[in-house]
A and B are shown apart, each in its own frame.
Chain A
Amino acid sequence: MIARGFGRLTDPPASFLLAGARVVDPATGIDELRDIAVRDGVIVDLPADDLERIDASGLVVAPGFCDLHTHLREPGTEGETVASGTRAAARGGYTTVCAMPNTDPPLDESAAVAALLARAADAACRVRVIAAATRGRAGHVPTELEALATSGVVGVSDDGTGVPSERVVREILKRLAPLDLPLIEHAEDGEAAGGGVMRVGPTATRLGLPAWPPEAEERMVERDLALAEAAGGRIHLTHLSTAAAISAVRRARARGTRVTCDVTPHHFSMTDAWVGGSRRFAWEETSLVGTTGEPYDAATRVNPPLATREDALALLAAIEDGTVDAIATDHAPHPSHRKAVPFGEAAPGLVGLETALSLGLAAVEAGRLSLRRLVEALSTAPAEIIGERRGLPPGATADLVLFDPRARWQVEPGALGSASSNTPLLGMELPGVVRMTVASGRVTYRR
């Protein structure tokens, strides 16, 4: 019997038969009802009637999810650990998370990368590392990119901020090109953002909060795209939040620029009205004016800030048409004392690993996204960006998620594997319950 609860990558490989699941595998283009057999951690041909049989009727099997943007907070002491963060990931259906380097101290040296990878060897999902793009994330001097590449990083980023200097970005892109690693940009022009703590719009006007214009993102995106075109390196724009930024990516793609991008579940589902107390998803919102619930919930403070309904719907359309490659969580756990302060003083960010699939499924139910694209943007597409293979053909190592797309669950701190619960979704009921996650042939989560 496969035990319920969390497992580790160091557990023995698993054997089981998923009977009657809807298999959605973007790698092979399959979307059909069938059985999947796993023997000693490897997907095998049917029949395999001797295996432990799990009734998967009504459930979906998909390749394991891959998060391009996770804050595990190690090294550091605040809000999460590798152990708790990877359990959150496993519960959310993830088999890989990419740890961001804005830790304390920042991950800007090979030794720190190696130490983190060693700590994650027995975690509940694979941990890949994104190293800092500049020393100390200070934006001035590129890190030892070539050495970092050999220590196994999957990209570099100064996430938390963009890299302000064009000269530095150009140098990083040139040096990354032969290494085939992306520069992952948090596109925010600090000057244009001007200390804003939420998005410009009617809610900010009403609440009297300093506001952030969409140009703060758009300007940086346009600059980065131009630099990537000139330098020829790979650039990946993370957590894009505005329709204008998406249009810029679309235009650059048409010109042949090597650019990939991701959006977060919170940016495609929530709006700036959430800061005013609304809890209506972008696709159900009719009015954006006024406060409808408790305003100033610090759980709605995030960078880039929650945008307009039009932006959120544009992000969903761009996921569907492929302009947006991947959904990434920007899982940003914070201990409660970092959020129990006035809105503008709160640490930005929210936890997302355990609600990403659910928010995607809510968009699917609303007719704003196809299940096929949702699965692809959570699994095979982000995996490809970091050079991981995904797919469910016989012979492949089992790396998959089994979920019930219709079952409902209530978001509450006790239901989360993360050490933090900073999300405005608390108390809400969402569709989508993960039943089992299998990473590298090991069962890392089962309920």
Chain B
Amino acid sequence: MLDVAVASRFGRHLLDVEGLSAGQLEELCDHAVEMRAARAERRHRSLLEAETVALAFFEPSTRTRVSFELAAKALGATTVDLAVEASSVRKGESLVDTVRTLERTGVTMLVIRHGSAGAPNLVAGRSGLRVVNAGDGSHAHPTQALIDLLTLREALGSLQGRTVAIVGDVAHSRVARSNIHALSAVGATVRVAGPPAWVAGFEAWPGVDVATSLERALVGADALMALRVQLERDAGADGPALADYVRDWRLDEDRMGLANRGAPILHPGPTNEGCEITAELADGPRSLIGRQVENGVPIRMAVLAAFAGAA
């Protein structure tokens, strides 16, 4: 049975996984496993009945927004979806004013996704709400990192001493950054790989190895994480041409043969099949992509419960 009262040890806000200990990360994964069972058995239905959770997504999202909403509802919270397009944000209301308005209407927790790195830090410091970051710019996506941690743990067991390679546009990826923090914390070796402009700067990140070819990324890897190529983003002058990326970096079953036997493949979704990963690989036996989506609601239930207890 989850004890909400002790959960204040996690802090008031979940802005990033940076700062959470290995023990806390494992504990949140354990809570998610318990939440998965609780949800199936319709237990904990009133755990968060005192909470009103606002979902403020300033960037598009399907799986993250839906799974946060289902997680909150499964625990009995009232939810309110700030439809950004139809809100006063369109009238130029500032982010801080919008959040303060939500607070005055009785919202207690804010789940926020925003295009600017640090936006959750800003609202955490300027409102009384407890803030859960659902992705900010290229900075952090802590619940995705927890999902990936749980998914990898279920596939590989302990991650201590294992090597996880993250492939793609690491520089612009909040998923990559949060995974680097989480995986490093639990004792895994993190390798990032991609075209030079997409891994620039990561050589200075303590404990992170930079691989400059897909082969170097794969050999010795116990698991692979493909990142979504952001087709909607202007690749910029220094980014690779899409055709070159597909040729040099797309993950397929053949190339996966270079990794350790049975190494699974993860992807935070949505995939651009045929671009960063082949459909065959995404739908094949190595793929944990479906499992990642399934772990979304339990992880977010665990997170909402843990941070709701931190009054």
- Distance in angstroms from A213 CB to nearest chain B CB is 10
- Distance in angstroms from B230 CB to nearest chain A CB is 13
Interface readout for A387-400 with B: 1 if CB under 8 Å, 0 if not? 00000000000000
Alpha-carbon distance A207/B171, docked complex (angstroms)? 10
Whose C-beta in chain A lies nearest to the C-beta of B115?
A342
- Distance in angstroms from A120 CB to nearest chain B CB is 33
A341 touches B206 (CB 8 A): no
Q: Answer whether A289 and B117 are a contact pair too, CB < 8 Å, given A206-B177, A207-B139.
A: no
Alpha-carbon distance A294/B202, docked complex (angstroms)? 22
8 Å CB contacts to A: which residues of B85-122? 94-96, 114, 116-119, 121-122
B309 within 8 A of A: no
Most chain-A Cβ atoms within 10 A of its Cβ — which of B121, B125, B177? B121
Whose C-beta in chain A lies nearest to the C-beta of B19?
A291
- Distance in angstroms from A339 CB to nearest chain B CB is 10
Alpha-carbon distance A352/B240, docked complex (angstroms)? 42
Contact size range, B: 20 to 34
B146 within 8 A of A: no
Q: Answer whether A342 and B201 are a contact pair too, CB < 8 Å, given A207-B139, A208-B138, A291-B18.
A: no
A205 touches B118 (CB 8 A): no
Q: Answer whether A204 and B201 are a contact pair too, CB < 8 Å, given A341-B95, A341-B96, A344-B137.
A: yes
Alpha-carbon distance A289/B94, docked complex (angstroms)? 32
List A contacts of B202 (CB < 8 A). Answer: 205
- Distance in angstroms from B126 CB to nearest chain A CB is 7
Interface readout for A192-215 with B: 1 if CB under 8 Å, 0 if not? 001000001110111111010000
- Distance in angstroms from B210 CB to nearest chain A CB is 11
Chain A interface main SS type:
loop
Interface readout for A239-252 with B: 1 if CB under 8 Å, 0 if not? 00000000000000
B118's contact among A194, A295, A337, by CB below 8 Å, is which?
A295
B94 touches A341 (CB 8 A): yes
Interface readout for A286-329 with B: 1 if CB under 8 Å, 0 if not? 00010100111010000000000000000000000000000000
List B contacts of A343 (CB < 8 A). Answer: 116-118, 122
B122's contact among A205, A208, A291, A296, by CB below 8 Å, is which?
A296
A208 touches B121 (CB 8 A): no
B117 touches A209 (CB 8 A): yes
A208 touches B204 (CB 8 A): no
Contact size range, A: 20 to 34
Q: Answer whether A345 and B125 are a contact pair too, CB < 8 Å, given A202-B204, A205-B202.
A: no
B140 within 8 A of A: yes
- Distance in angstroms from B175 CB to nearest chain A CB is 11
B117's contact among A294, A298, A341, A342, by CB below 8 Å, is which?
A342
A340 touches B96 (CB 8 A): yes
Most chain-A Cβ atoms within 10 A of its Cβ — which of B95, B116, B172, B236? B116
Alpha-carbon distance A204/B138, docked complex (angstroms)? 10
A296 touches B201 (CB 8 A): no
8 Å CB contacts to A: which residues of B248-270? none
B174 within 8 A of A: yes
Report the tally of A-B residue pairs with Cβ distances under 8 A. Answer: 71
Whose C-beta in chain A lies nearest to the C-beta of B121?
A296
B204 touches A289 (CB 8 A): yes
B125's contact among A201, A204, A206, A294, by CB below 8 Å, is which?
A294
List B contacts of A206 (CB < 8 A). Answer: 177, 205
Alpha-carbon distance A345/B122, docked complex (angstroms)? 12
List B contacts of A291 (CB < 8 A). Answer: 18
B118 touches A296 (CB 8 A): yes
Most chain-A Cβ atoms within 10 A of its Cβ — which of B96, B122, B125, B205? B122
List B contacts of A207 (CB < 8 A). Answer: 117-118, 139
B116 touches A345 (CB 8 A): yes
Alpha-carbon distance A291/B118, docked complex (angstroms)? 13
Alpha-carbon distance A149/B98, docked complex (angstroms)? 49
B126 touches A340 (CB 8 A): yes
Whose C-beta in chain B lies nearest to the C-beta of A291?
B18
Whose C-beta in chain B lies nearest to the C-beta of A342?
B116
Q: Answer whether A341 and B137 are a contact pair too, CB < 8 Å, given A204-B201, A205-B202.
A: no
B96 touches A202 (CB 8 A): no
A200 touches B94 (CB 8 A): no
List B contacts of A208 (CB < 8 A). Answer: 117, 136-140, 172, 174, 177
Alpha-carbon distance A296/B118, docked complex (angstroms)? 6
Which chain A residues have a beta carbon within 8 Å of chain B's beta carbons? Answer: 194, 200-202, 204-209, 211, 289, 291, 294-296, 298, 337, 340-345
Which chain B residues have a beta carbon within 8 Å of chain A's beta carbons? Answer: 18, 94-96, 114, 116-119, 121-122, 125-126, 136-140, 171-172, 174, 177, 201-202, 204-206, 236
A205-B201, A208-B177, A209-B138 given; 14 more Cβ-contact pairs under 8 Å: A194-B236, A202-B204, A206-B205, A207-B118, A208-B174, A209-B139, A340-B94, A340-B122, A340-B126, A342-B116, A343-B117, A343-B118, A343-B122, A344-B118
- 18 A–B pairs (Cβ distance < 8 Å), ordered by A: A194-B236, A201-B204, A202-B201, A205-B201, A205-B202, A208-B140, A208-B172, A208-B177, A294-B121, A294-B125, A296-B118, A296-B121, A341-B96, A342-B119, A343-B122, A344-B118, A344-B137, A345-B116
